[in-house]
Chain A
Amino acid sequence: MMGLISPKPSELKVEDSQVRESGPGAPSRMSVEDSQVSESRPGAPSLAERPEGWNRPPVMEPDGEGELLEVAMGPHHPSTHGVFRMDVALDGERVIRLKPVFGYLHRNHEKLAEGMSYLGSMPYTDRLDYICSLTNNWAYALAVEKLTGQEVPERAEYLRVILGELTRVQNHASSIGFLTQEMGATGTPLMYAFKAREKILDLFEGLTGSRMMCNYMRFGGCRVDASAAWLDAARKVVAGLPGFADEFERLLRTNEILMARTQGVGILRPELAVNAGVTGPMLRASGVNYDIRKVDGYGVYNRFKFRVPLGDHWDVYDRYMIRMLEMRESIKILEQALKEIQPGPVMSPTARIRGFRPKPGEAYGRIEAPKGELGFYLISNGGPNPYRYRVRPPSLINLTILEDMCLGQNVADVVLIFGSVDIVLGEVDR
């Protein structure tokens, strides 16, 4: 067992070149780009030239020996992160068909939201992706602010960035922890992840009063201001995060089991990823440079310097590694935001929070949530409730290509591929 002290950067480098198949000087496994323009892959046929049905999962034929075994993985399978079922057809160990079944946690969130005021849905957004309640709040607040044309004061934007990036760090840490747990690392990496997550949840509790159901953002700002003591506590936690990232990475990156189980498994081609609407770390692990923080520059994200990590093997290992690297970029954003945040109001003086009736119209607001593009589409007919309230759930849409990734793989790999998508059933089923 290697020591768990944070390694010096030079040590990490050395391990790097031993692990990677590429020699020194060759392009590394992961490339980090901050350019806005994505290059089109040479040699890839353009969309117009592809045959009909190229974006459908291929039909797998059994090899003719033995019988097909149909298994319902879930809804109580421990690896499904909740109540979710995959109807799998197996030819020996090989998956030849996989149909996801949803709805076990369906409570018709959208219908409920149509029956209450705009503010009334804010606490309910916490329950969508309950690991990342603050980014859910943010996406909803953004959509309503677009609909009503409200401005957000600068300090509130900074607080949103700080809370959003803390959310991303703890989401990515725990999603990696769960992935390793599904590989058989019972608990240890997960506990490392939860150690860091715990400190972040304590910060959330200190500011919002709740560890997970934060209900903190409001249309036109944030609910309460962060005290100087809270900001100092946040700085202290953020100062400890690079050490956590080093430790976590050193624990896992060169792990033989992790590499053997994840490299070359669950490959998702970039053109299919884009066509299937996959977003977030999944999309970037397939090598597509699309980060809504860069593309839309919502909030004050264009003031911060950060890079967008991209994968170039498009497999489960890349998805793990992208989350690791995104945590480091989030830490950079956090350091800048906590340095630059200025005193000021956190709520616009003209903010309309409750009891307002937006002018008739429709607006779509989206953010880069830790799991992908989280959007809210609102239609107002001038009444106090939204006429239509739609959540664009990244967890559900990222599962569109689950079957494509699993076909032909072993059934044990299905668990890992599913884990690498990083979903929360509260958001899938809504």
Chain B
Amino acid sequence: MKTIEEIKAAIEAAVPGAVVEIAPNPNPALPHSLRIAPECALAVAKFLRDDEELRLDYLSNVTGVDWPESLEAVYHLYSVEKKHGPVVIRMHTVNRRTQVELPSLTPIWRSAEFQEREIFDLYGIVFTGHPDLRRLLMWEGFKDHPMRRDYVAPDDFEYEPTAHDEVLKRAQARQAAMAGPAGSEAGQ
């Protein structure tokens, strides 16, 4: 298989205006990956899938990562036809809060469909062009993104059926506040 440098050169030759850089793996013994600018990601992905020599027809794994400055989606590509891989490509958002859009690669590789939904659900990356972008694991109406590193679980433990200790105290306080000063039945 081509080296990562050769793949980068092939992408730049085939896709005009593609912005690709090699993202070194901090551990040099492990393979490096390619960072792709979101604007050209669809064209690059199409090239990687259809190129005669690469034929990366199988997208194995899509991972969301929460970095301090941005959110990132990492794609592990293999070739079923040529039996090689992985080639790792990654894209990152502008920031973590306001500009969290990335292009969806589901039109190229269908296997991204549920995995990108999961990342949208747990990390809050909005994949533009995804055919069916809904939450996957959390329920509709859930507000936050639980895999983010600054996620704080909501304080709704009063619904816990066997509340005890700290949780029981919080539940009692909460129920007392909700019921008003008189006639609290919390903790029974």
A: residues with CB less than 8 A from B are 36-38, 40, 46-48, 52-53, 55-56, 102-103, 106, 108, 110-111, 146-147, 149, 272, 274-278, 288, 290, 295, 358-364, 366, 373, 375, 377, 379-380, 387-388, 390, 392, 396-397, 399-401, 429-430
Q: Is the CB of B114 within 8 A of A379?
A: no
Interface string of B26-53 (1 = CB under 8 A from A): 1101100100000000000000011000
B110 within 8 A of A: yes
B83 within 8 A of A: yes
By a CB distance below 8 angstroms, the chain A residues around B30 are: 146-147, 361-363
Q: Is the CB of A111 within 8 A of B147?
A: yes
Complex CA gap A173/B109 in Å reads 32
Chain A nearest Cβ from B159, distance in angstroms: 17
Q: Which DSSP category, helix, strand, loop or mixed, fits chain A's interface?
A: mixed
By a CB distance below 8 angstroms, the chain A residues around B50 are: 46-48
By a CB distance below 8 angstroms, the chain A residues around B114 are: 396-397, 399-400
B131 within 8 A of A: yes
Chain A nearest Cβ from B27, distance in angstroms: 3
By a CB distance below 8 angstroms, the chain A residues around B25 are: 361-362
Find the residue from B25, B113, B114, B135 having the highest chain A CB count within 10 A: B114
Interface string of B89-122 (1 = CB under 8 A from A): 0000000000000000001011111110000001
Chain B nearest Cβ from A94, distance in angstroms: 22
Q: Is the CB of A366 within 8 A of B60?
A: yes
By a CB distance below 8 angstroms, the chain B residues around A361 are: 25-27, 29-30
B14 within 8 A of A: no
Which of these, B60, B80, B110, B112, contacts A38 with CB under 8 Å?
Answer: B80
Chain A nearest Cβ from B98, distance in angstroms: 23
Q: Given contacts A110-B147, A274-B58, A359-B26, is CB(A103)–CB(B138) below 8 Å? A: yes
Chain A nearest Cβ from B144, distance in angstroms: 12
By a CB distance below 8 angstroms, the chain B residues around A364 are: 61, 76, 86, 88
Which of these, A37, A276, A358, contacts B111 with CB under 8 Å?
Answer: A276
Q: Is the CB of A106 within 8 A of B83?
A: no
Q: Given contacts A377-B74, A397-B114, is CB(A106)–CB(B27) below 8 Å? A: no
In the complex, 21 of the A-B residue pairs with CB atoms within 8 angstroms, ordered by the A residue number, are A47-B50, A47-B57, A103-B135, A106-B137, A106-B138, A111-B147, A149-B29, A272-B110, A275-B57, A275-B111, A276-B109, A276-B113, A288-B80, A295-B83, A359-B26, A360-B26, A361-B26, A362-B26, A375-B61, A392-B60, A400-B114
B171 within 8 A of A: no
Complex CA gap A361/B33 in Å reads 11
Complex CA gap A215/B147 in Å reads 25
B6 within 8 A of A: no
Residue of B nearest to A392 (CB): B61
Complex CA gap A272/B80 in Å reads 12
